[in-house]
Amino acid sequence: MAKLITPLVPKQIDSAKPKDKPYILFDGGGLYLEVTPLGSKFWRMKFRQANGKENWLSFGKYPDVSLEQVCQKQNKARKLKAAGIDAAENRKFYSVDGSVCED
């Protein structure tokens, strides 16, 4: 049975403190927030390619990229994956400032 993951809320993200080793706060759907020992917080998404290999997307640093923005980026990446496009290799779907380009 799959483990149910409750989505992150801004209060959880803000209260995440650095530890001795990097750790992860999961949001669901492959999206997570990585908290480093220096206190940096990075948005990442883990997914599988068509050939079965694992891959990751980086969406930016919190608070530069908010929870709402990263959810929009995750949805865009999932749509690209469903269309058979590897968003990790095709960065042209993302603009220079890191925001998702519209179709």
Which CATH number is 39's domain given?
A: 3.30.160.390
Distance from chain centroid for Cα 52? 19
User: 82-100: buried (b, 16+ CB within 10 Å) or exposed (e) per residue?
Assistant: eeeeebbeeeeebeeeeeb
The pTM (predicted TM-score) of the whole model is 0.80
User: Would residue 102 count as lying in a domain?
Assistant: no
- Give the pair of three-digit tokens for residue 54: 């694992």
- Domain housing 46: 10-93
User: Would residue 79 count as lying in a domain?
Assistant: yes
User: Would residue 77 count as lying in a domain?
Assistant: yes
- Give the pair of three-digit tokens for residue 99: 């925001």
Q: Is the dihedral of CA 38, 22, 77, 84 positive or negative?
A: positive
Helix (H, G, I), strand (E, B) or coil at 35: strand
Give me the number of domains the chain comprises: 1
Which pLDDT tens digits describe the chain residue by residue (103 residues)? 667 788 899 999 999 999 999 999 999 888 999 999 999 999 999 888 778 888 888 889 999 999 999 988 888 888 888 888 777 777 655 543 455 544 3
